[in-house]
Amino acid sequence: MYKVFVNDIPIILSTEENIGKQYTAIPLKEVRLKKIIRKINNNELTYVNLFHKNPEKLERFLRKKLPVVEAAGGMVFNDDKEILFIHRNKKWDLPKGKIEKGETHEEAALREVIEETGVKDLEIVKYMETTYHIFRRNDKYKLKVTYWYEMHSNYNGPLIPEPSEGIKKVKWKNFEKSQKALQNSYENIKLLFPKEYLTTHPNDRITKV
């Protein structure tokens, strides 16, 4: 199953036709994706499930229908188990950015975290998850696919936000402050966090999925 976010509303892609009574279920072969996106943006559609029995066709469908921008980023922990957040566009986020030509996902994730936060002594612990969201640029819809990695750093020096990327703040946040930050974050970011970090479910519209 995939959750592809449009303005924090998830389009569900699954192998099951029935995932909840509130969902409009559409066979993948009948999907008009841009029409669905417009309806979500116009608040005409909230619960949608695009289904096909073959799971391999779900992501393939997305990549075929929309230009893809691949990115990578990190959830960085320090020795005190604090998490590194950035503040951009009036929301708390995790550092990430576009994968450059010739880079591996891991190399891009490390580079972007360092560039956006100024953190040093950074190492990848493990791959976490891939998230998907649809955005509009130059009047065209695009699919951003972001590969996330858990990272660790024992760096305790100054953190430096990257102003050219619109980043206003970089902060280490403990468990309590992370919970508060997630109340003003993005739904695809919340997918990366264990449930105990979320004071409420990231989207009560998908609790039955």
Could you read off the pLDDT of 104-141 as tens digits, one per residue? Answer: 999 999 999 999 999 999 999 999 999 999 999 888 99
d(C-alpha 113, C-alpha 167), whole Å:
12
Is residue 122 domain-shared with residue 80, that is, in the same domain? yes
- Nearest Cα to Cα of residue 75 among 207, 201, 190, 209: 190
CATH at residue 120: 3.90.79.10
The pLDDT of residue 161 is above 50: yes
Could you read off the pLDDT of 9-39 as tens digits, one per residue? Answer: 999 999 999 999 999 999 999 999 999 999 9
Give the pLDDT score at 195. 87
The pLDDT of residue 198 is above 90: no
Phi, psi dihedral angles at 9 (to 5 degrees): -100, 125
Give the structural domain span for 123.
72-206
At 186, the amino acid letter reads Y
Is residue 28 domain-shared with residue 80, that is, in the same domain? no
- DSSP H helical segments within 66-138, as ranges? 105-117
Q: What pTM value is reported for the model?
A: 0.89
Average pLDDT value for residue range 71-96: 97
Instruction: Give 199's pLDDT tier (boundaries 50, 70, 90).
Output: low
Where a domain ends, among 39, 65, 91? 65
Report the domain count for the chain.
2
Where a domain ends, among 28, 48, 65? 65
Percent of the chain with pLDDT over 90: 90
Structure token digits, residue 150: 């858990």
- DSSP H helical segments within the chain, as ranges? 33-41, 56-65, 105-117, 175-182, 187-190
